[in-house]
Structure 1
Amino acid sequence: MKEIAIIGPTASGKTSLAIDIALKTNSVILSLDSLSVYKEIDIASAKPTKQERAGIVHFGIDEVFPNQTFDVLEFIACYKKAKMYAKEYDHNLVIVGGTGFYLKTLIDGISLGISTHEPMDISIQEAYELLVKLDPVYMQKIKSNDKYRIEKTYNIYRQTKLSPTEYFLKNPKKPFAPNLPIFEIMWEPEELRQRIALRTKQMLNEGLIDEVIFLEQKYTREPNCMSSIGIIETLQYLDGKLSKAQLEEKIATNTAQLAKRQRTFNRSQFNNLQTKNVLESLNSDILKFFSI
């Protein structure tokens, strides 16, 4: 069994490339997308439809409902399930998506044993200030508005009574796929902006507004996923804060900003990226890897 990862900014064509590769290499697919894991969030997540999946077994899609929790530990469980399935049925594994943090965890590992669902007993600001006093060196890499990482770090201290530095020294990370080959799709900035604009228009034409109305009525605005790009702007439109044209423009702008952050993260976090800005060339490189 061989496994690879295909990454790239949002709207870069990762999903269609992964499906094409999977069809040619007898592979299953693991989605690396933090929004596609939610059932009933179909248009906003741009997840492939069942028809587009072409009969390929997918993991990491439609795993939980929007009011349920899904984080990196659940993703690791999806990865283990996908790999076990691939081995059992003699398939390869293609991992694809834009959530670089999940991929980073696969490669670098994670220290297990800490509950990720403990409710906070103090505010994020109080937790941040406490952690800075407790472990100033470690906290230099966490910003004061990084709610996710502050919660995780605070839970380490709360459950172990150890500073983050002490905890990670005693509980080193265990990688799950340390030598995973990573293929990256790149586009020139203007070309990517055009692709994002086109996809935004398609999402609206396919019924994004109706989907968000349904999600709000069923789940309220409380779940974290309701603040995702595409959903949060549509809620602003429904509140009368944006016109239809402004809604489309704002989704496209915020998506382009996300794409820029994704590119920056990928370049800073992953070594030996095999990058191409032509999909056909990347397709060829990946097929060569599988034929080795």
Structure 2
Amino acid sequence: MNKIVVIAGPTAVGKTEYAIKAAQAFNGEIVSCDSMQLYKYMDIGSAKPTCEEQKAATHHLVDIIDPRDDFSVAEYQKLAKDKILTLLNENKLPVIAGGTGLYLNSILYDMDFGGGGADNEIRKKYEKIAKELGNEELYKMLQQADPDAAKRLHPNNTKRIIRALESIETGHEGIKSFNEVSVKTSEYKAILIGLTRDRAELYDRINRRVDIMMNLGLVDEVRKLMSMGLDADSISMKGIGYKEIIGYLKGEYDIDEAIRLIKRNSRRYAKRQLTWFKRYDDMKWFNLSYEGVGDMLSWLEKRI
């Protein structure tokens, strides 16, 4: 059976380094599973692989989407699966690397993002509410109708909020009908690897990464993106690092506070990522505070 390797884990844990080593060791190429690294012009805040890293192993689905364009997990699923199948046909090992849980789900499971059962009148009704009363009002409606679903969606992800409300109104089980799935894809077999570190070490790496981003020019990167017409309401600018710098550039707080917020929000995100990935019962975990790349490669070699 065709096999892929998934290397997942929290932000700043070291996924890129370990994915490159796996790709080099087993004739592989890397398929990014990161919702921010897809975007062009967003290099520093997304911790995009450097030129040297991309030379060390071929990376796909990096730097391909204009941040001014809408992009969905359904579109990601198609791009990722097409690339995975192409690599498999070339007898190369697809190494999936990243920390975006829903994107990973779209690769591992047969998730249907079609509009099955859609009721256009209902959809138009909610679109009108969003236009006249705003996203916040629409999100409040979902919080009342299905609090659990609301927790899993960003308040500004209007399309998916409308789909959830539409699904509830037409008698389906809210967002669960297209987000919580259990049927694994039969297109390939996934070998799942999770990377973690002791909390103190991980948080220190996160804090140091933010300092590096600032030194590399994160503020100028955000300023350039804003000059392109992007702002705090743009989906692509919701990423950690971007939204906090926007606040600084708008005079809402000083640069020290912006840095503090980025570090705090990154640590919180890392906790959410770990919670998500620990739901995968068949994921093999490596604690990089005690284990190295050799341990991972030795374990992987027996399963490729």
Q: What TM-score bracket applies, with the shorter chain setting the length? A: 0.7 to 0.9
Distance in 2 of aligned mates of 1:148 and 1:211? 23
Structure-2 change in CA distance of 1:38 and 1:149 (3 Å): closer
The aligned residue for residue 51 of structure 1 is 52
CA contact (8 A) 1:185 1:277 kept: yes
Match of 1:141 among 145, 148, 151: 148
The aligned residue for residue 163 of structure 1 is 171
DSSP 3-state at the match of 1:120: helix
Pairing 1:107–2:108 present:
yes
Structure-2 change in CA distance of 1:50 and 1:173 (3 Å): same
Instruction: Give, as a single letter, the amino acid of the residue that structure 1 aligns with 2:199.
Output: P
Distance in 2 of aligned mates of 1:249 and 1:132? 30
Structure-2 change in CA distance of 1:272 and 1:173 (3 Å): closer
Q: Give the stretch that moved more between structures: 157-166 or 100-109.
A: 157-166
Distance in 2 of aligned mates of 1:74 and 1:155? 16
Structure 1: unaligned runs, 5 residues or longer: none
The aligned residue for residue 176 of structure 1 is 185
The C-alpha deviation readout for 1:50-90, integer Å capped at 9, x for no partner, is 22112533222112100111221111112222212212321
Distance in 2 of aligned mates of 1:283 and 1:100? 26
Instruction: Give, as a single letter, the amino acid of the residue that structure 2 aligns with 1:94.
Output: V
Q: Give the stretch that moved more between structures: 12-21 or 174-183.
A: 174-183
The aligned residue for residue 267 of structure 2 is 256
Instruction: Give, as a single letter, the amino acid of the residue that structure 2 aligns with 1:25.
Output: F
The C-alpha deviation readout for 1:70-119, integer Å capped at 9, x for no partner, is 22111111222221221232100110111011112332331232299999
Pairing 1:189–2:199 present:
yes
Structure-2 change in CA distance of 1:129 and 1:41 (3 Å): closer
Pairing 1:265–2:276 present:
yes
Report deviation, 1:284: 2.6
The aligned residue for residue 227 of structure 2 is 217
Report deviation, 1:162: 2.9
Distance in 1 of aligned mates of 2:211 and 2:248? 15
Instruction: Give, as a single letter, the amino acid of the residue that structure 1 aligns with 2:127.
Output: M
Distance in 2 of aligned mates of 1:242 and 1:140? 32
Instruction: Give, as a single letter, the amino acid of the residue that structure 1 aligns with 2:218.
Output: L
Please report the TM-score for the alignment, with normalisation by the length of structure 2: 0.81
DSSP 3-state at the match of 1:94: strand
Pairing 1:203–2:213 present:
yes
Structure-2 change in CA distance of 1:219 and 1:289 (3 Å): same
Kindly report the root-mean-square deviation, in angstroms, between the aligned alpha carbons of the 2 structures. Answer: 3.2
Please report the TM-score for the alignment, with normalisation by the length of structure 1: 0.84
Instruction: Give, as a single letter, the amino acid of the residue that structure 2 aligns with 1:164.
Output: H
The aligned residue for residue 5 of structure 2 is 4
Distance in 1 of aligned mates of 2:262 and 2:223? 16
Instruction: Give, as a single letter, the amino acid of the residue that structure 2 aligns with 1:98.
Output: G
The C-alpha deviation readout for 1:170-193, integer Å capped at 9, x for no partner, is xx8864368522111111111111
Distance in 1 of aligned mates of 2:259 and 2:168? 46
Structure-2 change in CA distance of 1:114 and 1:173 (3 Å): farther
Pairing 1:120–2:127 present:
yes
CA contact (8 A) 2:142 2:164 kept: no
Q: Give the stretch that moved more between structures: 194-203 or 110-119.
A: 110-119
Distance in 1 of aligned mates of 2:136 and 2:258? 32
Report deviation, 1:210: 0.7
Where in structure 2 are the equivalents of 1:67-78 lying within 5 Å? 67-78=68-79
The C-alpha deviation readout for 1:231-255, integer Å capped at 9, x for no partner, is 1111122123333332222211111
Structure 2: unaligned runs, 5 residues or longer: none
